[in-house]
Structure 1
């Protein structure tokens, strides 16, 4: 196990927390079955977006993001593969003009975080160009929705899913959409307002692409993050002690909620 540790900084009144594990991924002792044949129904990937490349740390990231944004309404932009996300989430997104970008090849937080960039979506040749230049904002009602957003993008060399967590209610959603749809790139302060939290999950699958978690908030979340990462360390340690004893895919799937700290279908 490698502990999850966030560095923090402040920019324009927004607290930024960065987790850059490099090659030191959080879970180091894996279930051997990740490299074996799986049944065709419920699998580590269908349930948790876990595979033999993006391993159990994906479940840890999912749980950390969900618990860190507790009490807020969550919306996500799965970068680039908007149509695939629409299919998996079974909902129409709200179209927005801007998305948050992280460079998965850069070694430092300062170099990785690009801020607001124009939205973009994979579209077949001949599609309306305006449609391809819009990102999709999806409502996340349960952790399973966050997993679906990750599944939509995770098969690429690197993937990015940005969660915007804001105060509940349609008026706050409208302000979020307005901030992400203006004529100029919005600042994090514009998007987050006083209560909002951004959690960006970037997952590298190919060589020289690296995982990261970026958290942004006007509030100082250091104590909350420290408490959650300490709990993650405890959960990972318990999981690694029993990973080799998991005899089947169902055993693995039963172990994941305890590792992640969330149940997929509980908001």
Structure 2
């Protein structure tokens, strides 16, 4: 797969009873934002026309990270998707229009450490969850009582995944974990496993047809730091390379025509085309 853009080039290994597909993207691997208007034009107040609020793209988090999310969405098609936004549980609920009390709380979340220079060391696994508790104003009793829980949300649309990115990407690094289940009836079992007293294992969560996915992004890359796109499955799958190839070609087409874009309207059309799934794969 040498023709692929480096930020879409997966390495495959079998580790811990699971097939692992991983992109390690250092500073040289993630393309800078491409369209010049992201720097040169004033962003519209209308959220639907603003590239940040519509696509989670700006002059820092460029088009490549949106491609990662589109690939994640396409890869998990046909499954029920559940996700944990690291740290910003209550903020995610608010963005999705949910009350914090309505969120399914779990004790464990997955961690990929972007400060580690290679994937085996970066792949920490399940760690005890923690959520953002404000200092000012002082946290209320509910926030203090639930600081050690993550939120497990159902993702019903690609828009939800973009909303997750908007919520978590304000820090130097961010992380979103997805569980895509072939059987939607196992949602309760997933939540129960992530809320048990003992540290869970992915092998006890994933069944044939399920996909685990983690997007750990370093927004301000330091020396040795990297972003990681991690996929784990019980059985080997061809879709990772197939979809990576599709989005790599789509990204090249977009990049070759980006200088022709003049307005935000044209930009949104170009990005919608860039992020579109492959023909026949569906959008659900």
TM-score, scaled to structure 1? 0.93
Q: Does 1:66 align with 2:73?
A: yes
Which segments of structure 1 move beyond 6 Å, counting only runs of 4 or more?
Answer: none
Alpha-carbon shift at residue 11 of structure 1 (Å): 2.2
- After the TM superposition, which residues 212-223 of structure 1 pair with which residues of structure 2 at under 5 Å, given as runs? 212-221=228-237, 223=238
Other-structure match for 1:38: 43
**Does residue 135 of the first structure (1) align with residue 112 of the second (2)?**
no
TM-score between both structures, scaled by the size of structure 2: 0.87
Give 1:104 deviation, angstroms.
Answer: 1.0
User: Mean alpha-carbon deviation: is it higher for 89-98 or for 111-120?
Assistant: 89-98
> Where does residue 120 of structure 1 map in the other structure?
130
Moved more, 16-25 or 146-155: 16-25
| 5+ long unaligned stretches in structure 2 | none
- The alpha-carbon deviation at position 12 of structure 1 amounts to 2.6
Displacement after TM superposition at 1:210 (Å): 2.7
Of 213, 216, 226, which aligns to 1:210? 226
Count of residue correspondences: 263
Structure 1 residues 93-140: Cα deviation after superposition (integer angstroms, max 9, x where no partner)? 211110000111111001111100011100134444440000001111
Secondary structure (helix, strand or coil) at the match of 1:165 reads strand
Kindly report the root-mean-square deviation, in angstroms, between the aligned alpha carbons of the 2 structures.
Answer: 1.8
Q: Distance in 1 between matches of 2:251 and 2:149?
A: 38
Report Cα offsets for 1:4-60 as digits up to 9, x if no partner.
Answer: 111122223211111012123354570001112211112111111111111001210
CA distance in 2, matches of 1:159, 1:22: 15
2: CA distance between counterparts of 1:135 and 1:179?
A: 13
After superposition, the Cα gap between the structure-2 partners of 1:195 and 1:89, relative to the gap in structure 1 and judged at 3 Å, is same
Note if 1:52 corresponds to 2:71. Answer: no
Matches of 1:67 and 1:48 in 2, distance apart? 16
The whole-number CA distance in structure 2 between the counterparts of 1:259 and 1:44 is 14
Aligned match of 2:89: 82
Q: Is 2:150 aligned against 1:105?
A: no
> Contact (CA 8 Å) 1:103, 1:112: kept in 2 or not?
yes
What is aligned with 1:16? 20
In the alignment, the residues of structure 2 paired with residue 44 and residue 29 of structure 1 have an alpha-carbon distance, to the nearest angstrom, of 12
1:229 aligns with 2:236: no
Structure 1 unmatched runs, 5+? none
Matched, 1:163 2:178: yes
> Does the Cα contact within 8 Å between 2:27 and 2:221 map onto a contact in 1?
no
1:242 aligns with 2:257: yes
In 1: Cα distance, 2:171 partner to 2:81 partner: 24
| TM-aligned CA distance change 1:144 to 1:58, over 3 Å | same
Check whether the contact 1:29–1:243 (CA below 8 A) recurs between aligned residues: no
The one of 169, 173, 194 equivalent to 1:180 is 194
Note the alpha carbon deviations across 1:187-210, whole angstroms, 9 max, x for none: 111122333211111111123143
